[in-house]
Amino acid sequence: MTEQSPALDNLLTESRTFPPSEDFAAQANAKADLYAEADADREAFWAKQAERLTWDTKWTTVLDWTNAPFAKWFVGGKLNVAYNCVDRHVESGHGDQVAIHWVGEPGDTRDITYAELKTEVSKAANALTSLGVGASDVVAIQLQMVPEAIFAMLACARIGALHNVVFGGFSPTALRARVDDAAAKVVITSDGQFRRGKAAPMKANVDEALEGAETVEKVIVVKRTGDQLEGDVPWTDGRDLWWHELVDGQSEEHTPEAFDSEHPLFILYTSGTTGKPKGILHTSGGYLTQTAYTHHNVFDHKPGEDVYWCTADIGWITGHSYIVYGPLANRVTQVVYEGTPNTPHEGRHWEIIQKYKVSLYYTAPTLIRTFMKWGAEIPEKYDLSSLRVLGSVGEPINPEAWIWYRETIGAGRTPIVDTWWQTETGAIMISPLPGVTSTKPGSAQKALPGISAKVVDDQGNEVGPGGGGYLVLDKPWPSMLRGVWGDEERFKDTYWSRFKDQGFYFAGDGAKYDNDGDVWLLGRVDDVMNVSGHRISTTEVESALVSHPTVAEAAVVGATDPTTGQGIVAFVILRGNAVDGGEEAIQALRNHVAKEIGPIAKPRQIMVVPELPKTRSGKIMRRLLRDVAENRQVGDVTTLADSSVMDLISSGLKSGKSEE
């Protein structure tokens, strides 16, 4: 198990509960009987949820689990995912409903109705087809939060191509690895992006990434920053095309083709315990069923009435499942915001909520803690009375932040849904139901109706009330990952081998039951860090560090951080001939990691040490390094090959070699 921080210990003694108001409960989409309904017949329950969608051909079998862990859901069914997210809403008479209130960072806005969304997605689908992109081809997308990102994803879905969205903050090296692994045929990006009031280049980085990339035939470039970007946009004739030149002239008509329920929808790369990111594969029918079901019930979304805002980036799974697929399948009206929360001022989110009367707001604990730091007087200046459900995702939310969120943003009135899930699960798995659950600050509480999760011990036996252990999912679910792209063995090893005998999916998280049987998430138990709700593997950062010529060895740990959840702390041994750990050398190392992976992986702190603590078999004892990183008394050192190492490290640090 990972070390528990004092905050996690506190949360285990948390006993406040917040039942929904009678009014809220009475009007809620999900009532208490949903649990019993699902328990009575899980497959019938999921079949009913799948009826939310429009199928071209109905399925014959709800679930085929005979070839576990490779699931098939809604076998024999056919549907078009983009049709479900767009066209059917126009056909049912809601073409004039706003789908997206888009807000650009500089203050420009664009309201896109479902009819307009249909036109844009159809044109983009025709454009991709004109480039020879067909079903099962892969399109990589590295775009900031502009409407074209959503058009592009839906256009891929419409023609049966897989998208592979790469977060805009990832470095050229990281982009290239994801383009190569998925053999992407087309890359979609922009000239530049606005970031904290400045135009920064995007296309230049993409070009650097694609140098010599063999699979990429075309690069489509959305013009976003235009003249505001310094210098020319690098251009390769014959390969590069402007989005507006390619897409604008296309026909607005496009007939969506129905694809098999198990047709691949997208790949999204996520960090694992090794240096190489995993391409998580999701398919169509089951994924859309569960994202739509959870969005409807967890956020209590009422189409045509609510205004929803999920603040995630489409580069992450939350953006895929809770900006694009689930919400649009449910005919949402939603805000999509391009920029950072403090541009041009720290009240930007509250100003947007006030302007669009946002009623459902979904964000991450790291941002809530940042808002707390900025001060309650900022949101207090705005009218937030439209809010009726608040959501949290990405990491355990500490009770202080939870209470602040409810009191300051939700006026002490709104239910908070703390939603636990993963890139791999595709959709929310453990969460309160806002009209049913008496919520507890810091607990994700119970698996949703239709979902089964357990906390088990080392042997896979379920622990009792008050007991802690590993979180597993013991029954297949519709939006589960269908594999790791191109690596069947890694899929089985990573998720299904830890509790092979029982056939459990191992989530990688530690968890605990309280005396009511509610689940409290305790963070990762493997070598994966959670920085601002983003998964970064220790090995990935270590590999980046040792790829620098001055570094001989590196060990990386996630240390508790009051704002980002965890911060990356690296311990490095420099090569004999390297300059000794001065400010500049350390800054160069931090920049090197940013270049290799992306700025999100930049270590908060790098400590130069003479040795690393290792067991006799050579395994680095991260537990001890975490003690150092969190300024704790160093724990038991008896299993170290050389127990004096920790003294060496501590004395080295006292001599002032730590950074920042």
- State the binding site for ATP: 394-396, 418-423, 509, 524, 535
Binding residue for ligand PRX (CB under 6 A) from 71, 79, 521, 645?
521
Whichever of 351 and 493 has its CB closer to ligand PRX, that residue is 493
Binding residue for ligand PRX (CB under 6 A) from 193, 289, 422, 437?
422
Cβ within 8 Å of residue 403, ≥6 positions away: 16, 441
Taking the complex as a whole, the smallest distance from the CB of residue 468 to ligand PRX amounts, in Å, to 14
Whichever of 277 and 508 has its CB closer to ligand PRX, that residue is 508
Whichever of 294 and 422 has its CB closer to ligand PRX, that residue is 422
Identity at 134, one-letter amino acid code? G
Binding residue for ligand PRX (CB under 6 A) from 418, 514, 596, 659?
418
Give, for 628, the enclosing helix (H) or strand (E). Answer: helix 622-629
What is the DSSP secondary structure assignment for residue 177, as one 8-state letter?
A: H
Interface mask toward ligand PRX for 362-401; x: CB under 6 A: -------------------------------xxxx-----
Distances in whole angstroms, Cα of residue 412 to Cα of each of 269, 348, 405, 431, 525: 38, 21, 9, 19, 34
CB under 6 A: which stretch of 149-157, 373-381, 507-515, 542-550 binds ligand PRX?
507-515
Interface mask toward ligand PRX for 530-549; x: CB under 6 A: x----x--------------
Whichever of 509 and 518 has its CB closer to ligand PRX, that residue is 509
Contacts to ligand PRX from residues 267-286, by CB under 6 A: 270
What is the DSSP secondary structure assignment for residue 566, as one 8-state letter?
A: E
Taking the complex as a whole, the smallest distance from the CB of residue 3 to ligand PRX amounts, in Å, to 15
Whichever of 332 and 428 has its CB closer to ligand PRX, that residue is 428
| 509 is a contact residue toward ligand PRX (CB under 6 A) | yes
Binding residue for ligand PRX (CB under 6 A) from 205, 291, 423, 494?
423
Whichever of 308 and 356 has its CB closer to ligand PRX, that residue is 308
What tokens appear for 495 in the block? 């998720």
Interior angle at CA 120, CA 116 and CA 123, nearest 5: 140
Three-class secondary structure assignment of 292-318: HHHHHHHCCCCCCCCCEEECCCCCCHH
Alpha-helix runs per DSSP H in 488-574:
488-491, 538-546
At residue 447, φ and ψ (nearest 5 deg) are -60, 145
Residues that constitute the known binding site for Mg(2+): 546, 548, 551
Binding residue for ligand PRX (CB under 6 A) from 205, 419, 479, 560?
419
| 433 is a contact residue toward ligand PRX (CB under 6 A) | no
Alpha-helix runs per DSSP H in 511-616:
538-546, 583-596
Taking the complex as a whole, the smallest distance from the CB of residue 394 to ligand PRX amounts, in Å, to 5
Whichever of 395 and 527 has its CB closer to ligand PRX, that residue is 395
| 420 is a contact residue toward ligand PRX (CB under 6 A) | yes
Taking the complex as a whole, the smallest distance from the CB of residue 380 to ligand PRX amounts, in Å, to 27
Give, for 372, the enclosing helix (H) or strand (E). Answer: helix 365-374
Q: Report how far residue 228's alpha carbon sits from residue 408's, in angstroms, rounded to the nearest whole number.
A: 38
Query: Which residue, chain included where needed, has tokens 């694609």?
Result: 210
Distances in whole angstroms, Cα of residue 53 to Cα of each of 87, 121, 289, 336, 607: 12, 19, 7, 24, 53
Burial 261-271 (b: 16+ CB within 10 A, else e): bbbbbbbbbbb
Binding residue for ligand PRX (CB under 6 A) from 507, 545, 593, 620?
507
Residues that constitute the known binding site for CoA: 195-198, 318, 342, 532
Long-range Cβ contact pairs of 371-377 (< 8 A, separation 24 or more): 371/341, 371/404, 371/409, 372/400, 372/401, 372/404, 373/563, 374/342, 374/346, 376/404, 376/408
Q: Report how far residue 242's alpha carbon sits from residue 239's, in angstroms, rounded to the nearest whole number.
A: 10
Interior angle at CA 157, CA 155 and CA 159, nearest 5: 70
Q: Contact, 474 vs 504, CB < 8 A?
A: yes
Helix (H, G, I), strand (E, B) or coil at 635: coil
Taking the complex as a whole, the smallest distance from the CB of residue 364 to ligand PRX amounts, in Å, to 8
| 73 is a contact residue toward ligand PRX (CB under 6 A) | no
Cβ within 8 Å of residue 580, ≥6 positions away: 574, 608
CB under 6 A: which stretch of 181-189, 197-205, 418-426, 457-465 binds ligand PRX?
418-426
Query: Which residue, chain included where needed, has tokens 């805002």?
Result: 309
Taking the complex as a whole, the smallest distance from the CB of residue 17 to ligand PRX amounts, in Å, to 18
Binding residue for ligand PRX (CB under 6 A) from 285, 435, 508, 558?
508
Whichever of 171 and 321 has its CB closer to ligand PRX, that residue is 321
| 518 is a contact residue toward ligand PRX (CB under 6 A) | no
Taking the complex as a whole, the smallest distance from the CB of residue 463 to ligand PRX amounts, in Å, to 18
CB under 6 A: which stretch of 198-206, 331-339, 413-421, 629-637 binds ligand PRX?
413-421
Whichever of 119 and 530 has its CB closer to ligand PRX, that residue is 530
Helix (H, G, I), strand (E, B) or coil at 192: strand
CB under 6 A: which stretch of 123-131, 232-240, 415-423, 647-655 binds ligand PRX?
415-423
Taking the complex as a whole, the smallest distance from the CB of residue 283 to ligand PRX amounts, in Å, to 17
Nearest to 557 by CA among 579, 580, 524: 524
Contacts to ligand PRX from residues 442-461, by CB under 6 A: 444
Binding residue for ligand PRX (CB under 6 A) from 289, 294, 318, 333?
318
Residues touching ligand PRX, count (CB under 6 A): 21
**Backbone Cα Rg of the chain:** 24
The binding site for ligand PRX (CB under 6 A) comprises: 270, 317-318, 393-396, 418-423, 444, 507-509, 521, 524, 530, 535
